[in-house]
Amino acid sequence: MTTTAGDRIPALLLFGATGQVGLAVRAALGTSWRIVAPPRSEVSLDDPVRVASYVRASGADAVVNAAAYTRVDDAEQDVERVRLINAAAPAAMAAGCADLGARFIHLSTDYVFDGSGSLPYAPDAAPQPLNVYGRTKAMGEQLVLEALPDALVLRTAWVHSGHGTNFVATAVRRLVAEGVMRVVDDQVGTPTAASTIASVIGSALEIPSFSGIQHVTDAGVASWYDVAQTVADTLRSDGIRHDLTVVPVSSAEFPRPARRPAVSLLDTTGTRRALGWSPPFWRDGVVTSTRAWCAALSLSSRNHG
């Protein structure tokens, strides 16, 4: 939001501020917004009634929900709680925003799709989730837009950053410790830096007419194998470790509790046009996150041969 001298700094209520996207939003928007970031101990998404009253009492100008139950495999065994966090709580936020007249931006996922049909998925393609996480996120999208039709639901995919739990972090740790990693090469999508999402959220906050379901990812297509190879290339070129092997395997060799789409590509044309935005290439983001993890783990070319 553009402010001039003497303007009040607008207040942004941010749920999920300790997560990957939440941290990136704080970093990107902290100078133009007064960010209020309640920890889970102050307001938990397990309690949608409390969430709604918290939003109303906040008096915020805008609310961003970057909180979610994101442990896709665990979600299969925790259905009712996942529904509260991923569907009922966002719906409560939207209802609170409707009462306040506040802008609401909610994050969702490519896992609302099953990987079949026409690709990349347009924002209005019919969701067909394969797992509990995707089903509850699809439910959340619908409930949010029912409560507040002007809300913005931003779907994204394969998020990574230098914080929290993500595939780049796993690959850095595994490759540096063991030198070898087996990675599936038959699931493709678009690895997306949390910083990309935060920058689009920042632009979207300026344009209230940008609403409904929209897509944001970095540019390009990659398999998890490609991502691991990029991490390995970066570790080699930065002199962290040279003797690295990434072995391509099929998903059938890695059975997991939750089914995942084999292909999940989101069409970002609407977002690009509405915001005049052009997404960075996925590989650049993965290199940046790899380097952030090397710094966080104090890895340097002196530590490994």
Ligand X SMILES: NC(=O)c1ccc[n+]([C@@H]2O[C@H](COP(=O)([O-])OP(=O)(O)OC[C@H]3O[C@@H](n4cnc5c(N)ncnc54)[C@H](OP(=O)(O)O)[C@@H]3O)[C@@H](O)[C@H]2O)c1
Q: Which residues are catalytic?
A: 133
Cα torsion 117, 123, 126, 127: sign:
positive
The secondary element (H helix, E strand) that includes residue 223 is strand 222-223
For residue 305, the 8-state DSSP code is: -
For ligand X, the closer CB: 75 or 240 = 75
Q: How far is the CB of 136 from ligand X (least distance, A)?
A: 9
Do residues 71 and 112 touch, judged by C-beta distance below 8 A? Answer: no
Helix count and strand count (H, E) for the chain:
10, 12
Residue 220: CB minimum distance to ligand X, A: 16
CB of 121 to ligand X, least distance (A): 13
Complex with ligand X: residue 51 or 95, whichever CB lies closer: 51
Comparison of 158 and 293: residue with beta carbon closer to ligand X: 158
Residues in a beta bridge with 109: 156
Burial 37-53 (b: 16+ CB within 10 A, else e): bbeeeebbbebbeebbe
Q: How far is the CB of 103 from ligand X (least distance, A)?
A: 17
Query: Least distance to ligand X from the beta carbon of 84, Å?
Result: 8
| Structure-token pair, residue 120 | 């990349």
Q: Closest CB to ligand X belongs to which residue? A: 19
Q: 150: exposed, middle or buried (C-beta count within 10 Å: 0-12, 13-18, 19+)?
A: middle
Q: Toward ligand X, which CB reaches closer, 45 or 299?
A: 45
Cβ-based nearer residue to ligand X, 107 or 181: 107
Nearest to 172 by CA among 184, 159, 157, 160: 160
Tokens of 131: 């797992």
- Contact footprint for ligand X (CB under 6 A): 16, 18-22, 40, 44-46, 66-70, 85, 107, 109-110, 137, 156-159, 164
Distances (CA, A) of 121 to 16, 138, 214: 26, 14, 11
